[in-house]
Each structure stands twice: as structure tokens, then as C-alpha cells.
Amino acid sequence: MMRVCLFPGTFDPVTLGHTDIINRALPLFDKIIVGIGINPSKEPMFSAEQRMQWFRDIYKDEPKIEVHTYDGLTVNYCKTIGANFILRGIRFVSDFEYEKTIADANRTLDRSVETVFLTGEPQYTSVASTIVRDILRHHGDASPFLPGAVIKTLKGY
């Protein structure tokens, strides 16, 4: 059975913290599907198409990575794409408490999907999309937190 993993998030924008988790998860799974969640109640800074393109550029030479958008319950989307794992990155203990609550709910909804947590590398613990968006909104230099493919497209922000 293939080990298919969904890495869900908004990725607004894609950060080095996100790519750290993906890169370290690559040996663990046969396929990682990056699922860009579309939440109608959130207004993202970057379009879903832009976020998908960043992942495609970053992982153009990695056949194990796919990127899609989805809406609705993450655990239901897992069924749609045949994923039996959900990948989540943990920076702090508070992240774990929040993520464990979601993982427990997902397990209640579908026992065939297991959540896997990877802790972020220490140099990326301060990297949060919210902080990066704030830096960009105030015309600061967010490049220390971002992959090259993202930096290249940010001239207009």
C-alpha cells in the first residue's frame, strides 16, 4: 500500500518552515500532496494559483510532490485523494496542543487517517506566515523567511 500523505495549510505565503517540514517528510512517504485549503471566510494575501505555483517551482524536480487546492473537511479530502496520513508541522508546545485537538477530531471522523507531527528545525520556529505577511504589508524584508521561488515574485508587495 502506498504511503500517501496530505500536508494541509493555507501557505499564505510559502515559508522556509513549510519547506523544512516537506523536505524532512519526503523519505517517510511515497507521495506528499500539498493541500492548499480554501476557506471562504479568510481573505488571503496571495491567490491560490500563486501559492500552488510557488510549490510547483520549489519542487519541480521532486516527483513525489503534488499540489492541489481543496475545501471542506481535511479528513474528507484525504479520502478523495487516497491519503492515509496527514502531515503537520509543530513549532511550539502550543502548536502541539492545538494540532492534537484537530488530530483527535479527525481520528474520530475517520480512523483510517493518521496524523504525523514533525517538529520544525530550530532556525524556523519563528517563521510564521502571519508574521511574514505583516513584514510584507509594512514593506520590510521578509526574505530570511522565504524560499527563493517566493522571493522572486514579491517585488509588487
- Residue ranges for the known binding site for substrate are 10, 42, 74, 88
Q: Tell me if 75 sits within 8 A of 106, measured CB to CB.
A: yes
- The pLDDT tens digits of the residues spanning 143-157 come to 999 999 999 998 755
- The pLDDT tens digits of the residues spanning 35-87 come to 999 988 888 999 999 999 999 999 999 999 999 999 999 999 999 999 999 99
Q: Tell me if 35 sits within 8 A of 69, measured CB to CB.
A: yes
CATH of the domain at 46: 3.40.50.620
- Residue ranges for the known binding site for ATP are 10-11, 18, 89-91, 99, 124-130
Pairing of strands 65-70, 31-37: parallel
C-alpha cell, 38? 480554501
For the question of residue 42 being annotated catalytic, the response is yes
Domain that holds residue 94: 4-154
For the question of residue 138 being annotated catalytic, the response is no
Total tally of structural domains belonging to the chain: 1
- The stretch 118-133 carries a mean pLDDT of 90
For the question of residue 18 being annotated catalytic, the response is yes
Q: Tell me if 34 sits within 8 A of 86, measured CB to CB.
A: no
Element (DSSP H or E) covering residue 57: helix 48-58
For the question of residue 111 being annotated catalytic, the response is no
